[in-house]
Amino acid sequence: MNFTKMHGCGNDYVYIDGAKELVPQDQKSDLAVKVSDRHFGIGSDGLIFINPVDDPEVDFEMEMYNADGSRSEMCGNGIRCVAKFVYDHRLTDKKSLTIISAGKKKFIDLTVDDNNLVTRVKVDMGAPILSAPQVPVTVSAGSDKLDANGLSNIPSDICFKAPITAAGRDWEITCVSMGNPHAVVILPDDFDLAGFEIEKFGPEFENHPFFPNRTNTEFVKIDDRNNVHMRVWERGTGETLACGTGCCATTVACILNGLTDSTVNVHVLGGTVTCSWNGDGSSPVIMEGPGTTVFEGAIEI
């Protein structure tokens, strides 16, 4: 099977051209586990198939698996790399694309260099899902508890600054879905994010009873009104160097909490992703960042 290894700010996946590599559906989950292994496989945070679609309004499908073989609905870094893959491999000459993942369409604009290769990708990630049952999370604090930030169309059952106990410690979470569930934890100013024991606390959040579908968790330090630092524990994978949907969820949570302006540079371990949201619950989050090809090869499956 031919593959391409790519990453978005260090969030790396193995990418497969689904039109050329016909892997049986019932083998894809086990294959994701095999190729993701960093000692005995290729090494990645998961496996993504780029599939053709029979829909005039959609250009490609992204079919994503986590490193543990579980399906994932969306990956912001992943979809940027999918867009770079299809353009750089001349599967399309369009610089504006529509890519579908788990039934949700995302609208994408490409920036290319003098060699006609993609350097940056901007994605309309759609409106954030804030209603607690839709995230899903089984606890909410209510939009009546929001600060007066001039926000609009925010559901009354939002999970905002909701208390949670994980690994014997009390926290507050603001929950957002960007097609997949996120619990965002805003950390105090004196918190040591670099030395944080994310391997201890991340699994406790991921598998907490509050989250019927498990959750991704972002631990966030505020730098200023336009910059934050974040570490992420991804559902089904563990800590990763970046998470595109996590950067979007972090931006939304920071704005809801009145801590940042509408455009936020989210600094993760692997680089920086820029997200913007105008504070209207029905408006989309716009994410922009790089996609990088690491190497190509073939593996026996």
> What are 37's two structure tokens?
């292994």
Cα dist. 14→6, 104, 220, 223, 227 in Å? 7, 21, 28, 33, 30
Active-site annotation holds for 243: yes
Query: What DSSP designation does 38 have?
Result: T
What is the DSSP secondary-structure string of 55-95? -TT--EEEEEEETTS-EES--HHHHHHHHHHHHHTTS---S
Active-site annotation holds for 75: yes
Catalytic residue among 9, 75, 81, 175: 75
SS3 (DSSP) at 221: strand
Catalytic residue among 81, 175, 243, 275: 243
Tokens 């599967």, residue located: 91
B/e letters for 130-158, b = 16+ CB within 10 Å, e = fewer, are bbbeebbbebbbbbeebeeeebeebbebb
Report how far residue 246's alpha carbon sits from residue 182's, in angstroms, rounded to the nearest whole number. 7
Give me the active site residues, please. Answer: 75, 243
